[in-house]
A = this chain, B = another copy of it.
C-alpha cells in the first residue's frame, strides 16, 4: 500500500471545484473587462446595481460577494469615474443609497455582445440543458443553511 491521502480528491471538493470552474468561466470575461478598464469587482457591482436599482451598500456587498471595507474603496473610485452616485438616506441616516448612472449602464450595454458570445461559447460546449441544470443546482446550493 502506498502513502494514501485521507482527504477527498480536490476534484470532488465542492469549494475547490467551484473555484476551478469559476476560473475557467472568468478567463474570457476577464479579457473582455481588461479591454474596458473594468475589474471583476466593479463589473459585479454594476451588474447588481443594474438589477436592483437604488440600494444600500450592505445589499451590494451581499449580492456582489464583497466585504464592506473593499466596497467603500471601490465605490469611491466608481463615483469619481461617474459610474455610480451615492446619497445619504433620509429616513435612516446611517444608510448610503447607491445607484448606477447612465454611464455605468452604458458600460454594461457596450459589452453585451461580447458577454453573449462568451455565454454562447460555453453553452455550445456544455449544452443548454446541462447549463440550466448547473445554474439550478448552484441556486439551490446558495440557499443551503450553513
A134 within 8 A of B: yes
A28 within 8 A of B: yes
Q: Within the assembled complex, what's the spacing in Å between the Cα atoms of A133 and B108? A: 33
Q: Mark A120-146, 1 if CB is under 8 A from B, else 0.
A: 011001100011011101111111111
Main secondary structure of the interface of A (DSSP, over half): helix
Contact A6 B112 (CB under 8 A): yes
Contact A18 B7 (CB under 8 A): no
Of the A-B pairs whose beta carbons lie under 8 Å apart in the complex, a sample of 7, sorted by A's number, is A14-B25, A19-B44, A24-B142, A24-B144, A24-B146, A121-B146, A134-B141
List residues of A whose CB falls within 8 A of some B CB.
5-29, 44, 47-48, 50-51, 63-65, 108-109, 112, 115, 118-119, 121-122, 125-126, 130-131, 133-135, 137-146
